[in-house]
Amino acid sequence: MSPSIAFRVNGEWEQLTVEPQHTLLEVLREDLGLTGTKNGCERGECGACTVLLDGQPVNSCLVLALEVNGHEVTTIEGLAHPSQPPLSGGEQLDPLQEAFIEHGAVQCGFCTPGMLLSARALLDRNPRPTEQQIRQAIAGNLCRCTGYAAIVKAIQDAAAREA
């Protein structure tokens, strides 16, 4: 018999039965339909599957779903804050998302969800990071489209907006 887990995802409690060997990545994408979390290497090397677990960035491909029982998970779908004013299309973006768009830090977009969540965790614990601290915080998130300069600039800009 498969175990049941209950955890908060993007502010909402979810309860489901999972296979003991399933990862958080599998549960998010396949069971909950949260496909913003990307499946990259499945070895914890690329950061495409980064989510926040109790506010800390983790590679969801390396976390067993059973480990999140009773915890809080934030995916890219939950990054935008309802307190933010809506855009013309009605969507609400986190200041980081706005900065990524404005600075051209979104190229193909595959790394973007994980990059944004790693950056959000950094800014939540350190609202005024140095460039070195930003580069260190996103070091586990690989981007093959940019040289990271636009990404770093976007994070710096978001930090300044939030200060």
pLDDT tens column, 121-132 = 999 999 999 999
Whether residue 60 sits in one domain with residue 8 = yes
**CA-angle at 93, arms to 32 and 45, nearest 5°:** 55
Does residue 112 lie in a domain region?
yes
**Confidence at residue 163, expressed as pLDDT on a 0 to 100 scale:** 84
pLDDT digits (tens, 9 = 90+) for 35-92: 999 999 999 999 999 999 999 999 999 999 999 999 999 999 999 865 555 555 566 8
Contact 49, 25 (CB under 8 A): yes
- Structural domain containing residue 124: 95-162
Model pTM score: 0.93
**Which pLDDT band holds residue 115 (cuts at 50, 70, 90)?**
very high
Kindly list the distances between the CA atom of residue 63 and the CA atoms of 7, 112, 145, 146, in Å, as whole numbers in the listed order: 14, 20, 27, 28
Please state, in angstroms and rounded to a whole number, the distance separating the CA atoms of residues 93 and 96: 8
Residue at 1: amino acid letter = M
Mean pLDDT (the chain, rounded): 94
Q: How many domains does the chain have?
A: 2
Residues 99, 63: one domain? no
Q: Check residue 86 and give its pLDDT.
A: 55
Q: What's the CATH number where 117 sits?
A: 1.10.150.120
